[in-house]
Structures are given as C-alpha cells and as structure tokens.
Amino acid sequence: MKIEKIQAFVTNFIKNLSETSIFTIWMVMLMLTSVLLWGFTTGLRNDITAKTINKILDETGEERMVLGAVSTWHIPGNVSQFGTWYTMTSNENAVLFSLIVDGIFSPCFAIINNDGKLGALIPLTVNADRVISRMNPGLLRVWVDRIEKNAAILKQVLDERDRRRGNV
C-alpha cells in the first residue's frame, strides 16, 4: 500500500515537473527573443525617432535638425539612463527624455548649447506642453540641472573620443 502511494506521488511529481519545466522554458525563450529584438533594433528605433523629432522641429520653425543618436555605451554616470542623446546639425547635443508629472507622460526634447547650457526645451506633445507650462519652477530647474550635468559628462566623453581618434 505504501509503495503504491509512493509510486503515485512520484508519477504525479514528474508529470507536474515536466509541465512546469515546459512552461518555464517557453517563458525564458519568449523573454530571450524579446531582449534580442529590443537590442538589435536599437538603431532602427533611434532613426525612426530622429525622423519624428525632425518633423516636429520643422513644424515649430526650428532650423537645427537631428543627425543621429549618440552611443552612450560605457559612459560613466547616469547619462545613458537619462534619455536618448542625439547630435544636431549645429554641432550641439540634444536629449530626448520623458517627464511624468501627475501621471501624465510627457516626452520632451532638450537642445544643449555648445557652452553646456540648455538652449531650448521643446515639448513633443500637447500634453507635454501643458505639463511644462504648469510645472513648478523649482522642479523644472531640477530637470534643467540634471540635463546640463549629463550634457557636460557626455561632452567630455565625446571630446575625449574625438581626441583619441585624431579628429580635433
């Protein structure tokens, strides 16, 4: 009697284990596929975003246009975590980032002058324009300081890369 119970338990355990392992393998493969697709399409996503930003800049009358994304791989600090950095036709840098204020997602584009100061803060949607116009000036100053700090780090790293390549 005990042997039959043990055999039933082992059989049930193996059946549950195989079903669980199949589900787990399926989930791992789904995650792996998602991560690989996300990683390999970074350039394409950045190009599509740059074209969209250029359309918005053209509509706002801005003469400067986005050239392409800056690779922030191996840059120290929070530069790569802050947003997507771009180079502009005017040899300036810019960052695409999002504010979430009062639960409203607000994508913004900040153009950094060559002296490292914020040149223009361009809201990319109507909601972003409303959020920025109603935002507490102190909070807006914090965001501007973060942008300028990260832009200084990025400029220093890009200048060092150019110096190493002999472009300067």
Cα 137 from Cα 128, distance rounded (Å): 15
Indicate yes or no: pTM above 0.85. no
Residue 150 counted as domain residue: yes
Name residues whose C-beta falls within 8 Å of residue 45's C-beta, 6 or more positions apart in sequence: none
Q: Render each residue's pLDDT in the chain as its tens digit; 168 residues.
A: 688 888 888 888 888 777 888 889 999 999 999 999 998 998 899 899 999 999 999 998 888 899 988 877 666 666 667 788 898 988 888 999 988 888 888 999 999 998 889 988 999 999 898 888 888 899 889 989 988 988 888 888 888 877 888 765
Residue 11 counted as domain residue: no
- Domain assignment of residue 135, given as a range: 42-165
**Total domain count, the chain:** 1
Bridge partners of 94, per DSSP, are 86, 111
116 burial (CB, 10 Å; 0-12 / 13-18 / 19+) is middle
Residue 8 counted as domain residue: no
